[in-house]
Amino acid sequence: MTVVPSDFYVVANFKETQIGSMRTGQPVAIKVDALPGTKFKGHVESIAPGTGAQFSLLPPQNATGNFTKIVQRVPVRIAVDASAEDRRIFVAGLSVTAEVDTAATERTH
């Protein structure tokens, strides 16, 4: 059995170098790989307080003396503004491309 939440969102894992100017409420353009030519709109709902690696079951503990810097990924929750019809074709687990308009001002609710 799969439990799917009733609120409609996407979690995008952006590079840590990409989130510096992201803010809650900024508009997002979402393209779904399985639905070519279809674009959805959304907005940044929240930015995780840590990287994906920090919250993994076994976070990496690299203490080997190797100082290679690896760009981390930060989960960003994007609320999808979609109709009931769109929700039927936008199923859980699809791959998407999300582009955040970081020039947009913070949205007021």
40-82 pLDDT tens trace: 999 999 998 877 666 666 666 666 666 677 788 899 999 998 8
Domains of the chain: 17-51+69-104 (2.40.30.170)
Contact 81/41 with Cβ under 8 angstroms?
yes
Tens digit of each residue's pLDDT (9 = 90 or more) over 31-42: 988 888 888 999
Q: What is the mean pLDDT of residues 80-93?
A: 81
Q: Is 88 helix (H, G, I), strand (E, B) or coil?
A: helix
Return the pLDDT at 66: 63
Q: Which residues pair with 31 in a beta bridge?
A: 39, 97
What local confidence, expressed as pLDDT, does residue 93 receive?
A: 84
Evaluate whether 17 touches 101 at the Cβ level (below 8 Å).
no
> What's the pLDDT score for residue 22?
93
| Tokens (6 digits) for 16 | 């840590």
